Structure 1
Amino acid sequence: MPLLEDPPVTAALPKVIEFFAGVGLARMGLEQAGFRVTWANDYEPDKYAMYTAHFRDEELGSEHTFDLGDVFAIDRTAVPRDAAIAWGSSPCTDLSLAGSRGGIRAGESNAFWGYIEALKQLGDDRPPVVVLENVVGLATSHGGDDLTAAIRAFNELGYSIDVLAIDARRFIPQSRPRLFLVGAQNPPVETTVPNPELRPDYLSWIYEDETLCTHRAELPTPPASLTTGLDAYIEPMPVADDRWWDANRTELFIKSLSPIQSERIAALRRATGVTYRTAYRRTRNGVATWEVRPDDIAGCLRTARGGSSKQAVVKVGNKRIQVRWMTPLEYARLMGAGDYNLEGARTNQALFAFGDAVAVPAVAWLGKHYLMPLATGTLGAADRQTAVV
């Protein structure tokens, strides 16, 4: 009788089902933390095209299914029932401070309830751990009512909720604060004073509301926020590259700066050596202006369907200034996905996809220090409780 082949190493890894997968940056972070994503869903064909081109699951024979379509219309009988974690990065359009602020039941952000319905349909086979990732605006949307509604929805499914605020700036030179709701059927009992680096004061009311089932896990302090490092993420480009704006457009850029910003750029221009900064175009009193960040990190990358949301690179020093739009590779690098396969992706397709995603290293840190110990029963294992709803 022939010997059985050894099973793949991945067979023992905890499985994840991923809602609102986008181009798979959450998957990248989770897999860095030791998980295996076996199922994903998103409704945007452009993101699906990038996802499949990068991960090549079908070509490589990976155990992975991508369900392309609206979260409300997925085949819920096909959602795997053996996952350790469900991850959902639901649309932030109506929750973001830069968006409509319509709330969790408005527009695209209403898709959160499709995530809840899908989990509900899994019944007793729901993963023991769930995650919701979204913008920090969720904490203040409708005076906190939207965050309360989200927590209560998870509570009704048997999950106690912990809420963390993590800025990608702790890992990469991009200002990108996000909320992470971590739900556990068997949450750890609190043993220490909660870490204010992860749970700032504006989240304290959540744990004081006795109508909500919450917990605060003991976690290590994350790395300090970066204040420098942008230059290492900028794509090298010759001075004569036609992606740099011409003299007239560059002069219009300079003229649009406020007096304070203009002097700041002038000082950098006089300096020896090259400095990089990022800039956004804003509308102030009906006039389009440019605002340049004063520090050596990027502003928060956003979806690039409108010109004002695109981020520009400013190269200044040695009496020269050059300006251009940020490239897809730079967006990928600033999301912690510098090795992402961009072949075949259109520029705006890539910019939108990365601007609408979660930073890989933030997910990897959360996965390593919280989700993996929680999923494997080693987080607070000596003293655990069952979520009471």
Structure 2
Amino acid sequence: MALKHTFYEFFAGGGMARAGLGPNWSCLFSNDFSDMKSRAYIENWGKDDFVGGDIGKVSTSQLPNRADLAWASFPCQDLSLAGNYKGLGESSAAVMTRSGTFWPFWSLITKLCSEGRGPRLIVLENVVGAITSREGQDFAALCSSLTEAGYTYGAMVVDARHFVPQSRASVFFIAVAKDVSVPVNLTLPRLDETWHPAALVEAQARLEGKAKRQWVWWHLPTPPVRNIGFADIIEERPVGCRWHSKAETDRLLEMMAPLHRAKVERARTTGTRQVGGVYKRTRLDEFGVKRQRAEIRFDDTAGCLRTPAGGSSRQTIVVVEGDSTRSRLLSPREAARLMGIDDNYKWLCCITSREHNRAFT
């Protein structure tokens, strides 16, 4: 029987990286700070390899052996608009941003390298804002960190819509230790616009010295056409939410500007069941006054999942079937399905908006 590959899972959340890696990978160590996420992780994967709490208090003595992979989906808040792009901060900062918890993680990696146990592969996953936050300083800092540790590396932007009916792009830094041979079919002599959008290309062009020399353009095959749509994951009898009353649905429709109300009217004429995703946003009306608006899309793809704890609204769905128009919040199980998680996962309310990325890659 072939030996399983091994991995560490940092910022583990509910264990979406573990779910995506599958049964041929064995977890040596996992960690998360959140009590709720820790409970979800243990409920689904057990507690044998899990250590809860501050990553800054983890030592290399708790990380057994030399892992084939270290996965880190470090906090995204300060690399996005929600966190005003405060960024990673400095590794020596007295006051750490949430995204700045990358530095205690990276300290563990560098110590493992000094012990001759640096992971053979490292994957860093975050929002695409990591490419441009602080005018590219955070991107450069991540690249420099991987370079100084002796890794060959590159980055890709992967949109969830290629695999599940949800629109969400994330950046993945993939780094390979110097003693690991890289198959030639995994790299490209030039970029591939499917995985390397303009913002990433521009950020890479600004790199200098070793950071640029150790960069590679990673190659992935073009994904097959997705065979599941938003409507396919919707439950008729959801758990954890309820269908709105007619009055509530009418109020939601009244919040739509003419452009979005017209999308609902067009959906009624199709003769088929149509499911649209709705987010509430503050917009200026024709008089320059801020108003809350409901904005809908009917492209069989959900909008990017978000956590209300981050200040965003929870996604609402509108189901149109002929003259019938119903609405409600997205259910927890539907959200899990949009992350690529099967129905056997024991979901809790703590699953975050980013964890689907770990499940489908």
Q: TM-score, normalising length from structure 2?
A: 0.87
Q: Which segment is superposed worse, 262-271 or 134-143?
A: 262-271
Picking from 292, 297, 304, the partner of 1:293 is: 297
User: 2:261 matched to which residue of 1?
Assistant: 262
Q: Deviations over 1:245-264 (max 9, x none)?
A: 11222111011101011111
Q: Deviations over 1:159-214 (max 9, x none)?
A: 12210111111111101111000111226475643322112232224543232143
Q: Deviations over 1:97-121 (max 9, x none)?
A: 3432111126210111111011122
Alpha-carbon offset, residue 215 of structure 1: 2.9
Alignment CA distance shift 1:341-1:228 (3 Å): closer
CA distance in 1, matches of 2:109, 2:3: 23
User: 1:144 matched to which residue of 2?
Assistant: 136
User: 1:90 matched to which residue of 2?
Assistant: 74
CA distance in 2, matches of 1:27, 1:132: 14
Amino acid at match of 1:355: S
Alpha-carbon offset, residue 340 of structure 1: 4.3
Tell me, yes or no, if the aligned pair for 2:88 and 2:102 is still in contact at 8 Å: yes
CA distance in 2, matches of 1:273, 1:163: 41
* SS of alignment partner, residue 101 of structure 2: helix
Which structure carries more relative contact order (alpha carbon 8 Å, separation 6+)? 1
Q: Which segment is superposed worse, 95-104 or 172-181?
A: 95-104
Alpha-carbon offset, residue 313 of structure 1: 1.1
Amino acid at match of 2:216: R
Tell me, yes or no, if the aligned pair for 1:17 and 1:80 is still in contact at 8 Å: no
User: 1:27 matched to which residue of 2?
Assistant: 18
* SS of alignment partner, residue 140 of structure 1: helix
User: 2:287 matched to which residue of 1?
Assistant: none
Alpha-carbon offset, residue 226 of structure 1: 4.8
Picking from 53, 78, 85, the partner of 2:43 is: 53
Alignment CA distance shift 1:357-1:207 (3 Å): same
Question: Are 1:236 and 2:227 counterparts?
Answer: no
CA distance in 1, matches of 2:324, 2:148: 60
Q: Which runs of 5+ in 2 are unaligned?
A: 90-95, 285-289
* SS of alignment partner, residue 298 of structure 1: coil
Alignment CA distance shift 1:335-1:85 (3 Å): same
Picking from 326, 329, 345, the partner of 2:330 is: 326
CA distance in 2, matches of 1:215, 1:242: 47
User: 1:316 matched to which residue of 2?
Assistant: 320
CA distance in 2, matches of 1:108, 1:144: 18
Question: Are 1:197 and 2:197 counterparts?
Answer: no
Tell me, yes or no, if the aligned pair for 1:173 and 1:227 is still in contact at 8 Å: no
Alpha-carbon offset, residue 221 of structure 1: 2.3
Alignment CA distance shift 1:204-1:260 (3 Å): same
User: 1:223 matched to which residue of 2?
Assistant: 223
Q: Deviations over 1:13-63 (max 9, x none)?
A: 11000110000001111226x3222210100010011111112x35xxxxx
* SS of alignment partner, residue 81 of structure 2: coil
Q: Which runs of 5+ in 1 are unaligned?
A: 1-8, 59-63, 364-389
Alpha-carbon offset, residue 222 of structure 1: 2.9
User: 1:366 matched to which residue of 2?
Assistant: none
User: 2:27 matched to which residue of 1?
Assistant: 37
Question: Are 1:68 and 2:60 counterparts?
Answer: no
Aligned residue pairs: how many? 339
Amino acid at match of 1:95: L
Amino acid at match of 1:27: R
Matching of residues 76-115 of structure 1 within 5 Å:
76-105=60-89, 107-115=97-105
* SS of alignment partner, residue 107 of structure 2: helix
Alignment CA distance shift 1:277-1:70 (3 Å): same
Amino acid at match of 2:263: R
Alignment CA distance shift 1:263-1:227 (3 Å): farther
Alpha-carbon offset, residue 227 of structure 1: 9.5
User: 1:129 matched to which residue of 2?
Assistant: 121
Q: Deviations over 1:82-109 (max 9, x none)?
A: 2111110000001123432111126210
CA distance in 1, matches of 2:166, 2:225: 10
* SS of alignment partner, residue 36 of structure 1: strand
CA distance in 2, matches of 1:16, 1:110: 23
Amino acid at match of 1:15: T
CA distance in 1, matches of 2:79, 2:142: 12
Alignment CA distance shift 1:155-1:242 (3 Å): closer
Alpha-carbon offset, residue 125 of structure 1: 0.9
CA distance in 2, matches of 1:222, 1:191: 14
Tell me, yes or no, if the aligned pair for 2:28 and 2:63 is still in contact at 8 Å: no
Amino acid at match of 2:355: A
Q: Deviations over 1:305-348 (max 9, x none)?
A: 267431111101211111100011001000000224336x3xxx
- RMSD over aligned CA atoms reads 2.4
Amino acid at match of 1:165: V
Amino acid at match of 1:97: L
Amino acid at match of 1:268: A
Identity %: 31
Alignment CA distance shift 1:184-1:38 (3 Å): same
* SS of alignment partner, residue 56 of structure 2: coil
Tell me, yes or no, if the aligned pair for 1:192 and 1:218 is still in contact at 8 Å: no
User: 1:184 matched to which residue of 2?
Assistant: 176
Tell me, yes or no, if the aligned pair for 1:310 and 1:325 is still in contact at 8 Å: yes
